Amino acid sequence: FGMVVGNLISGRLSDRYTPGKVGTAAQALICIMLLLIFFLSPYKWAAALLMCLCTAGLFAVSSPEQVLIIRVSKGGEMLGAACVQVAFNLGNAIGAYAGGLAVSGGYRYPSLAGVPFALIGFTLFLIFYKKYQAKY
């Protein structure tokens, strides 16, 4: 549910606002939701709701990112789109590894392990947006 809703909403928001703003905001929300998952995970209803919202946020990043990479890679759109997929797969592998290490601390800690990655994503989106905001 979160995957579908996140993709649909971010695609429409990217049309209304700039993809850079939408991607940056989605990354910031992911950071907040991961922290909330860590602190509220003892409450099953909150953990389930936040998990769906975080999943929506994670997939809300992909639409603006795809749009931006296509716009920026003039003449190399196919290579740019392929690199995005490589980055997603690499992120999945690194995230699974870091989450696996964090599980030894308890079921709450994988969400905390994700916060630095989400902050890095937020920072990179923000740098990109500031650099190219006039164009994209």
Residues 13-71: tens digit of each pLDDT? 988 988 888 989 999 999 999 999 999 999 999 999 999 999 999 889 888 888 888 88
Q: Given pLDDT bands bounded at 50, 70 and 90, which one contains residue 85?
A: confident
CA distances in angstroms from 8 to 32, 68, 115, 129, listed in the order given: 21, 16, 24, 21
Provide the pLDDT for residue 74.
Answer: 84
pTM: 0.85
Percent of the chain with pLDDT over 70: 97
pLDDT of residue 134: 57
Whole-number Å distance between alpha carbons of 4 and 54:
12
